[in-house]
Amino acid sequence: MCVCCHCTITSSVENCHYVLFIVKAIVIFGSDTSMIVIRFKKTALSFPLSQEPEEGEVLSGLSQRRLLSAVAMEEFEFPASIHLQKMPLFPKWHLPLKLMAVLMAVAFVYTFLRDVLQPYVSNGKNDFYKIPILVLNKVLPWTSITLLALVYLPGILAALLQLHRGTKYSRFPVWLENWMSVRKQLGLLAFLLACLHAIYSLSYPMRRSYRYKLLNWAYQQVQHKKESAWVEDDVWRMEIYISLGILGLGILALLAISSLPSVSDTLNWREFQCVQRTLGYTALLLCTAHALVYGWKKWVELKQYVWYTPPSFILACFLPAMVLLVKAVLVMPCLDKRLDRIRHGWERPSRKGRSDKDSL
């Protein structure tokens, strides 16, 4: 039996047809039952239900039912006809998880070829120790910022479709509707990878290889008789991109918290849209700027183009930059006002009278 928090709710009959999840418990209704049993640890509480109740009525009136009896029970009972294996397992997460796995695999192969395999093939240098931390810490932000861009890309495509059609009453393509329905999951995965990226970055000084490099740098500084190893460009570069990364991660955390049902239920639609849209694009902008500043002068250094391939941060910034660019065009007054009118019910004269069958 599924147990959530401190309580478990089951039907008093074995022939059950409906399984509904309510906050911290599971309610299983039978079409021919008149009672449900609520267990709080070892106590069973019985509530009467009307014959063949509607699911919505049961959910709305459950808290108002009068308590009739309480019977001590020593163990949980589970109807043999209930098969939890037939219930869907995180259906909204299937596509986002598969997409994340594909993106991480592509990013890993690309980074491995450039940072590990190329030095080994060209110079015989063994850099395979980079795989657990350095290579993975390039894969995580690349995948994270791509997923974050994919959260807001379908909204931009929907806006372009509405501008093209001149109406909001034509349905979006099925693939776009499915994409928009999993934006929350994509955003949470992007936040997870961003947190892992921050943790991996903080672990750099703890690595043994990093300590050896510090000794080598100190020895080279003494050998070249340098009193100071201060490099102004590197100092400013690191200060700026770390600050941008912290700000971006903080806003992503706020977005993740606001997506919780306990928080989102306290917000009206306008407040929720303001948080998810305004702060979301702000987070995407900060994360993109974080990656761009990380690159600094590497954009134009020929040694960065290993095997005639661009650095990974260039590819990582491409999609987010395109999303931000198109969004900047859409917020121009000439397009923003027209899109706002369409979303409030206005239709282009040539579109009036047409049915939804002309949608893609």
Whether 280 has a pLDDT exceeding 60, the answer reads yes
pLDDT for position 174: 94
d(CA 120, CA 323): 37
Q: What is the pLDDT of residues 144-201, one digit of tens each?
A: 999 999 999 999 999 999 999 999 888 999 999 999 999 999 999 999 999 999 999 9
Domain boundaries defined on the chain: 7-86, 93-214+226-344
If we measure between CA atoms, which residue out of 287, 283, 313, 304 comes closest to residue 107? 313
Residue-level length of the chain: 360
If we measure between CA atoms, which residue out of 72, 64, 78, 56 comes closest to residue 9? 78
Q: Check: CB of residue 165 under 8 Å from CB of residue 351.
A: yes
Q: What is the pLDDT of residues 217-253, one digit of tens each?
A: 888 888 888 878 788 888 999 999 999 999 999 999 9
Cβ neighbours around 51 below 10 Å, total: 8
Q: Check: CB of residue 181 under 8 Å from CB of residue 156.
A: no
When mean pLDDT is compared across 24-28, 83-87, 156-160, 221-225, the lowest value belongs to 24-28
Cβ neighbours around 79 below 10 Å, total: 16
Phi, psi of 5 (to 5 degrees): 55, -115
